[in-house]
Structure 1
Amino acid sequence: MKAMIISEYGENAKFESKKVEKPILKNGQVLVKISASSVNTVDTMIKNMGNDLPFSPKSPAVLGMDFAGTIEQVGNDVTEFSIGDEVFGCAGGLGDLQGTLADYITADVKLIAKKPSNLTMKESASLPLVGITAYEGLTRANVQKGQKVLVHGGTGGVGHVAIQFAKYFGADVFTTISSEKQSEIVKSYGAKSINYKSESVEEYVNKHTDGKGFDVVYDSIGGENLLKSFEATALNGQVATTVSLSEIDLSTMHFKGLSLHVVFMLIPMIHNFQREKHGEILKKIAKIAESGALKPLLDEENFSLENVGKAYARLESGNAIGKVVVEN
Structure 2
Amino acid sequence: MKAISYRRYGGPEVLEYGDLPEPKLGPDHVLVKVRAAGVNPVDWKAREGHLDGVLDTVFPVVPGWDVAGVVVQPGPSVPEFAVGDEVMGYVREDFLSRGTCAEYVAAPVRTLARKPRNLTFEEAACLPLAGLTAYQVLTQALSIGQGDTVLVHAAAGGVGSMAVQLAHHFGARVIGTASEPSHEYLRDLGAEPVTYGDGLAERVRALAPDGVQAVFDTIGGDTLAVSAELLAQGGRLASITDPAVTTLGGRYVFVRPNTADLYRLSELAEEEVIEVRVARSFPLERTADAHRLNEEGHTRGKIVVTVDWES
> TM-score when scaled to structure 2?
0.93
In the TM superposition, what are the counterparts of 1:161-200 in structure 2 within 5 Å?
Answer: 161-179=162-180, 181-197=181-197, 199-200=199-200
Is residue 2:216 matched to residue 1:236? no
2:271 corresponds to: 291
Displacement after TM superposition at 1:249 (Å)? 10
Q: Which runs of structure 2 are paired with 1:62-211 in the superposition (5 Å)?
A: 62-92=62-92, 95=95, 97-140=97-140, 141-179=142-180, 181-197=181-197, 199-205=199-205, 207-209=206-208, 211=209
Change (3 A) 1:231 1:159: same
**What letter matches 2:14 in structure 1?**
K
CA distance in 1, matches of 2:124, 2:194: 28
Q: Match for residue 256 of structure 1? A: none
Structure 2 unaligned residues grouped into runs of 5+: none
Q: Find the counterpart in structure 2 of residue 214 from structure 1.
A: 212
Separation of aligned partners in 1, 2:175 and 2:266: 24
Residue of structure 1 in register with 2:19 after alignment? 19
Question: How many angstroms does 1:224 deviate by?
Answer: 1.5
Report deviation, 1:320.
2.2
State whether residues 92 and 100 of structure 1, in contact with CA within 8 Å, keep that contact through their aligned partners in structure 2: no
| CA apart distance, 1:50 | 6.1
Match in the other structure for 1:311: 290
Please state whether the residue corresponding to 2:77 is helix, strand or coil: coil
Give the alignment's TM-score, normalised by structure 1.
0.88
Distance 1:79 1:115 in 2: 17
Shift of the alpha carbon at 1:222?
A: 1.0
Deviation at 1:196, TM superposition (A): 2.4
Q: Relative to structure 1, is the Cα distance of residues 239 and 51 closer, same or farther in structure 2, using a 3 angstrom cutoff?
A: closer
Q: SS state of the match for residue 278, structure 2?
A: coil
> Is 1:54 the equivalent of 2:54?
yes
3-state SS of 1:100 partner: coil
C-alpha separation in 1, matches of 2:246 and 2:269: 39
Asked whether the 8 Å contact 1:87–1:115 carries over to 2, the reply is: yes
Question: Does the Cα contact within 8 Å between 1:29 and 1:107 map onto a contact in 2?
Answer: yes
> 1:187, CA displacement in angstroms?
0.8
Pair 1:94–1:11, CA change in 2 (3 A): farther
Partner of 2:221: 223
Identity %: 35
2:291 maps to 1:302: no
Offset at residue 56 of structure 1 (A): 5.2
Measured after TM superposition, the shift of residue 93 of structure 1 is: 7.0
Distance (Å, rounded) in 1 between the aligned partners of 2:304 and 2:246: 37
Q: What residue identity is the alignment partner of 2:207?
A: H
Q: 1:168: how far off?
A: 1.1
Q: Which residue of 2 aligns with 1:279?
A: 259
Give the whole-Å Cα distance in 1 for the aligned partners of 2:198 and 2:6.
42
- Say which SS state the counterpart of residue 88 (structure 1) adopts: strand
The one-letter amino acid of 1:208's match is L
Which one-letter code corresponds to 2:298 in the other structure?
A: N
The letter for the 2-side match of 1:298 is V
Question: Equivalent residue of 1:138, what SS?
Answer: helix
Q: Which 4+ residue blocks in structure 1 deviate beyond 6 angstroms? A: none
Give the Cα–Cα distance (whole angstroms) in 1 for the partners of residues 246 and 238 of structure 2.
17
Amino acid at match of 2:291: Y
Which of these residues, 261, 265, 271, is aligned with residue 251 of structure 2?
261
Aligned to 1:325: 304
CA RMSD of aligned residues (A): 1.9
